[in-house]
């Protein structure tokens, strides 16, 4: 069984879109208030949730066909994208602990998903 | 609960800030809801009578699953208010570990070396993120 390029592209697109969901949630979270109306009108949070839903659509399409050993690691790309955006958009410093922690998490996810096959 | 009290007592402009560990704790709590949501949605989807949109909304396990995802999102946003995205986002991966553990307990799925190693490595990774010393 081979993995179609289209499946790989769909999964990468899904993780790319999802990583921006995280960026909008973070950005909206910075504007949290106790004012209920303002909370409802917090468009950043709404966009964040919408991007997540949108990304799951690509995952479902992408994971239908192809080898999961190739596709699952691509899903974890979302964690790496988000890590990069947090530096670019929120000026969060890269530290050694973050690199090690993130790398272990990505390896762990891939192993777990391989075990689920 | 304690955080609410602190915010109220501090007077006119309450601005309680979660510490890094508290934010990570919130996300860890959120992942339990996220894992329960995934289990319920998987169960609901497998036992769906038909694929009509009405069935998808009124099916109790699916409906409960979506609601738990809502709680997951609220807790995540609350944590993101004060915490760093680059630390908190990878913590969400604990959802995968909970789902694997719950599947063994509730569905009788068998553990294998890959799963045990995966769960263990994710936990170590999250622990190292918690030790981050830049604040």
Q: What angle do CA B118, B120, B124 make, to 5 degrees?
A: 115
Chain B positions touching A36 (Cβ under 8 A) are none
The stretches of chain A forming alpha helices (DSSP H) are 5-29, 36-40, 43-62, 68-75, 77-90, 96-115
- Measure B94 CA to nearest chain A CA, in Å: 9
Chain B positions touching A108 (Cβ under 8 A) are 93, 96-97, 117-125
Taking a C-beta distance cutoff of 8 angstroms, is the pair B80, B17 a contact?
A: no
The CA distances from residue A53 to A47, A58, A60, B63, in Å, are: 10, 9, 11, 16
Predicted confidence (pLDDT) per residue in B31-46, tens digit: 999 999 989 988 887 7
CB contact under 8 A, B126 and A105: yes
Q: How many angstroms separate the CA atoms of B22 and A32, rounded?
A: 17
ipTM score assigned to the predicted complex: 0.87
Q: What pLDDT is recorded for position B4?
A: 47
Look at residue B27 and tell me whether its pLDDT is greater than 90.
yes
Predicted confidence (pLDDT) per residue in A66-88, tens digit: 777 778 788 889 999 999 999 99
Taking a C-beta distance cutoff of 8 angstroms, is the pair A11, A63 a contact?
A: yes
Taking a C-beta distance cutoff of 8 angstroms, is the pair A105, B93 a contact?
A: yes
Of A95, A105, A111, the CB nearest to B114: A111
Of B78, B86, B131, the CB nearest to A92: B86
- Residue of chain B with shortest Cα separation from A31: B81
């Amino acid at each position: 069984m081979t993995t179609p390029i289209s499946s790989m592209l769909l999964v990468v697109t899904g993780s790319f879109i999802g990583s921006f969901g995280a960026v909008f949630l973070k950005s909206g979270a910075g504007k949290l208030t106790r004012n209920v109306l303002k909370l409802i009108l917090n468009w950043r949070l709404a966009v964040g949730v919408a991007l997540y839903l949108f990304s799951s659509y690509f995952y479902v399409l992408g994971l239908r066909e192809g080898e999961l050993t190739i596709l699952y690691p691509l899903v974890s790309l979302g964690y790496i994208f988000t890590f990069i955006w947090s530096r670019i958009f929120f000026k969060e410093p890269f530290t050694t602990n973050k690199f090690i922690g993130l790398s272990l998490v990505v390896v762990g996810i891939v192993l777990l998903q391989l075990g689920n096959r | 609960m304690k955080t609410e009290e602190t915010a109220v007592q501090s007077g006119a402009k309450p601005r309680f800030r979660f510490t890094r560990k508290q934010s990570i704790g919130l996300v860890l709590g959120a992942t339990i809801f996220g894992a329960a949501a995934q289990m319920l949605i998987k169960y609901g989807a497998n036992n769906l009578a038909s694929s009509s949109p009405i069935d998808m909304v009124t099916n109790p396990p699916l409906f409960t699953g979506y609601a738990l995802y809502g709680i997951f999102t609220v807790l995540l946003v609350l944590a993101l208010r004060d915490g760093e995205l680059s630390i908190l986002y990878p913590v969400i991966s604990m959802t995968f570990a909970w789902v694997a553990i719950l599947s063994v307990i509730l569905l009788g799925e068998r553990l294998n070396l890959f799963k045990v190693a995966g769960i263990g490595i994710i936990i170590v990774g999250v622990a190292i993120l918690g030790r981050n010393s830049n604040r």
